[in-house]
Chain A
Amino acid sequence: MFAIKELFGSKFKFSLIALAIGLVVSLTMVTSAMSEGLLTGMSGAKSRLDADALVFQRDTYPTIERSILSADDLDAVAGTSGIAGAYGVGHTYASVGSVDEPFDVRVFGLGGSMDQLPIIEGRAASGHDEAVLDATAELDGVEIGDTITLTPMDASLKVVGFTEGRRYVMVPTVWVDLETWEALHLAALLGAGDDGEQAGEVAAARMAEQFSGSASVAAIDLEPGTTIEEVQRGLGDAYRVAGIQDAADAGNGMPEMILAVNGIQGVSVVIGALLVGVFFYITTLHKTSQIAAIKAIGASNAYLYRDLLLQITVLVAIATVLGTVLALGAGAGMPPMMAFDPDPRRWAVAVLAIFGTAYVGSLFSLRSILKIDPATALGRTSA
């Protein structure tokens, strides 16, 4: 095909074009991944729980921080029709005070398997007083094997592994089993109850009894064909059920942030795609006399359209590969605190938009060329 010969015949020119488009592709991908990373940093701990939905205490949705379900509540949830499985998830505030510069964390207790956390370094927590931390805690000086002290509960945990993509409200998370969380949660409440003084033994015992077997929310798996609405009806007004993604996208300013992020991604894709479309419109127009000459020696319009589409497909495909490599390289070079979370679907949308406008831009341009007087197209100024 002569379109391909043109690519190889003008390597430098087309390399520059591919580089320019590749940079546009890369820009839209990096913007998309960084804004997705921002959302993951806000709610990754919630959105990546291994469950279909979360069950909150009445009137607390979407604030996991305020919700509390007793052991009886958890039993009631687990026994509800349409729920295939349920486990408690606990949440509490804490700070890591055993490092040079103390930092805030969110402690999550998992009643389900700890295996749902992807371990990128170390191992999964297997017992009491062991914890897996989000890898961003490494930036605050925490290492595998360290024993960290959480305040205000003054509890010690051994760091046995790091996971990723599990931050919450942009701070690192500490993952422990639900029993450990219960103890930490109780200690936090008692410690905060009387300005640092130990609560009375009676009050402590009463609270321990009250919180025994509790969790903040219940993570549930639905039976096939069961909807969240059906489970909500089954549980009644004492609880609020939300899909895992809906729960993650609610609260903590998430709806506003999602709107802003979608706006940023949308604008970058639209501008990137338009830029590529206009670019191809202009580069095709620059070939007016060449296209007119090939038409004059017998090329049909169909041939010219086909040839142009083939050339653009090859060129944009090369640019897409280049742009993807650049974007992934940029992501790999970013420090963990800089959120970078590629979403293949959003990248695919950006690439499809760029392919689409590249086709539209050049086909519109070719259509214009084929409509004008051939003498003019061939560069004649006199008739």
Chain B
Amino acid sequence: MLAINDITKTYGSGRTQVTALDQVSFRLGEGKLLAMIGPSGSGKTTLVSIIAGLLTPTSGEVIIDGHPLHLRSSADAARYRRETVGIVFQEHHLVPYLTARDNLLLVPHLSGRITREDRTRADDLLESFGLADRVSHRPALLSGGERQRVAIARALMNTPTIMLVDEPTASLDTERGFQVVEMLKDQVHERGMTCVMVTHDMRMAEHADERLMLRDGRVVAG
């Protein structure tokens, strides 16, 4: 269960102060995919960054499985992201010099060491995303859809409780976009994760279990 309680995020101070999020609250249960919709500048990515522990809210709190998220240091935040969160970026952000398999193995590498089980899991994940014949390919040799699927597989590598997905279909055509969202939804349901997906595209949002609309940093529908 993910609960967002009265999150506010401001930048700057005085006359130059900008409020990116203004008392945003919502709850999302396990095995649910939430589509977060909103125009540019509505605060979607800021909210995702706060849930990911990349940003600290000015006020309010993030509660995961009943426990408030308290990240006392950057090391704490890094551990939280390694152990609890899976992130998929808009531009996939795969490491260009690593193969698809090594991009997945980067996750256990950051936790300390890569085990044989990790290698098996990476291969299994890639296979489940239809990428069994692409394990040794670098991102430059993969299509846009393949890269995004590798990015999702990487986000699943640490068996996350929370999955955060930022515009996963932005660089894909409609058909491939639907495929990716369906694949994501299946994974969320199958693994019982809590997933927040940022999107501009209402058609993609309709495939989600729940929807939340942000505008000017506030929840306007959900």
Asked if A and B are interacting partners, one says: yes
CB atoms of A2 and B93 under 8 A apart = no
Q: Given the complex of chains A and B, what is the CA–CA distance between A216 and B91 in angstroms?
A: 80
Residues of chain B at interface, number, CB under 8 A: 40
Q: Given the complex of chains A and B, what is the CA–CA distance between A5 and B166 in angstroms?
A: 28
- By a CB distance below 8 angstroms, the chain B residues around A292 are 93
Q: Does B109 sit within 8 A of A, measured CB to CB?
A: yes
Contact residues, A274-324 vs B (CB, 8 A): 289-290, 292-303
A-B contact count (CB 8 A): 100
Q: Given the complex of chains A and B, what is the CA–CA distance between A378 and B93 in angstroms?
A: 8
Q: Given the complex of chains A and B, what is the CA–CA distance between A135 and B72 in angstroms?
A: 71
- By a CB distance below 8 angstroms, the chain B residues around A8 are 97
Q: Does A6 sit within 8 A of B, measured CB to CB?
A: yes
Within the complex, what minimum Cβ distance (angstroms) separates A193 from chain B? 81
Q: Given the complex of chains A and B, what is the CA–CA distance between A302 and B166 in angstroms?
A: 26
CB atoms of B97 and A9 under 8 A apart = yes
Partner of B96, one of A290, A299, A375: A290
CB atoms of B95 and A301 under 8 A apart = no
Within the complex, what minimum Cβ distance (angstroms) separates A144 from chain B? 58
Partner of B54, one of A9, A10, A374: A374
Q: Does B194 sit within 8 A of A, measured CB to CB?
A: no
- By a CB distance below 8 angstroms, the chain B residues around A378 are 89-91, 93
Known: A2-B95, A290-B93, A297-B107. A383 touches B55 (CB 8 A): no
Within the complex, what minimum Cβ distance (angstroms) separates B169 from chain A? 16
Partner of A302, one of B49, B75, B95, B98: B75
**Closest chain A residue, CB of each to CB of B52:** A296
CB atoms of A382 and B40 under 8 A apart = yes
CB atoms of A301 and B43 under 8 A apart = no
- By a CB distance below 8 angstroms, the chain B residues around A296 are 52, 54, 81, 87, 89, 93
CB atoms of B89 and A300 under 8 A apart = no
- By a CB distance below 8 angstroms, the chain B residues around A294 are 95, 106, 110
- Chain A, interface size: which category? 20 to 34
Partner of A5, one of B40, B98, B107, B158: B98
CB atoms of B158 and A298 under 8 A apart = yes
Partner of A301, one of B54, B74, B106: B74
Chain B 45-88: CB-based contact to A (< 8 A → 1; otherwise 0): 11001001011000000000000000000110011011101010
Known: A297-B154, A298-B82. A2 touches B90 (CB 8 A): no
Q: Given the complex of chains A and B, what is the CA–CA distance between A57 and B89 in angstroms?
A: 82
- By a CB distance below 8 angstroms, the chain B residues around A382 are 40-41, 45
Q: Does B20 sit within 8 A of A, measured CB to CB?
A: yes
- By a CB distance below 8 angstroms, the chain A residues around B93 are 289-290, 292-293, 296, 378
Q: Does B44 sit within 8 A of A, measured CB to CB?
A: yes
- By a CB distance below 8 angstroms, the chain A residues around B106 are 2, 294, 297
- By a CB distance below 8 angstroms, the chain A residues around B45 are 375, 380, 382-383
Partner of B98, one of A2, A295, A303, A374: A2
- By a CB distance below 8 angstroms, the chain A residues around B138 are 9
- By a CB distance below 8 angstroms, the chain A residues around B74 are 300-301, 370
Q: Given the complex of chains A and B, what is the CA–CA distance between A378 and B102 in angstroms?
A: 20
- By a CB distance below 8 angstroms, the chain A residues around B179 are none
Closest 7 CB pairs of A and B: A9-B97, A298-B82, A293-B93, A382-B40, A300-B78, A374-B54, A298-B81
Q: List 14 A-B contacts (CB under 8 A).
A: A2-B95, A6-B95, A9-B138, A289-B93, A297-B87, A298-B110, A299-B110, A300-B75, A303-B78, A370-B74, A373-B49, A374-B52, A383-B42, A383-B43
